[in-house]
A and B are shown apart, each in its own frame.
Chain A
């Protein structure tokens, strides 16, 4: 699946998007956040405080207990500050 990052998540990871292939044990958004946090120092910096990260699957907001199966694009970003 394609992971996309925005705002300080993007800056900390050091890229705007990438293909990711989490293991089968990663079932929910929360599992994926924990797994991403273990993918190196920059990921630990981005995802270390996972509870503040907002997630969208295929451009729709989801909660951390949502399953990720079938997701094509999964986005990670801080709380929004538009308006």
Chain B
């Protein structure tokens, strides 16, 4: 089972996770991660997410294939929203099902690390005082997180 979706609308993490086990009795572990929009200490009003339509889907497919080549996972869910997102709302979800917890944890973390550095999405902040907080800068910590899987 594999579901990759880039959408404007919100999603239901429990329903997405349940779909990984529906009608199956061979799944031993489901790991889910949900990324939320922070208010950054109360100053953020809206986060605006731009993406590269077409490539964003392809890149998530490539990242999912890479995870499957590294760990024997059963199912993968990758969901990412675009457009305007308010503090407290969901942005991204990764879910992995597998026979055992270890490969599910590893694959989920790998998927999230590579999604952050390789999937063509960009965040721009709009602040509560009506000004633009500008484009969010990429963090070297995110590069380092992805890099550790290559060594």
Where the two chains meet, the residues of A that have a C-beta atom closer than 8 Å to any C-beta of B are 4, 6-8, 56, 59-61, 75, 77-83
Residues of B within 8 A of A82 (CB): 49, 51, 80, 92, 115-116, 119-123
Residues of B within 8 A of A4 (CB): 52
Chain B residues with a Cβ closer than 8 Å to the other chain, count = 28
Residues of A within 8 A of B138 (CB): 78-81
Interface residues of B in 40-84 (CB under 8 A from A): 49-52, 54-55, 58-59, 80
Chain B contact residues: helix, strand, loop or mixed = mixed
Could you tell me if A59 and B112 are in contact, using CB atoms closer than 8 angstroms?
Answer: no
Return the CB mask of B11-55 against A: 1 if under 8 Å, else 0: 000000000000000000000000100000000000001111011
Q: Does B91 contact A (CB under 8 A)?
A: yes
| Most chain B beta-carbon neighbours within 10 Å: one of A4, A7, A56, A81 | A81
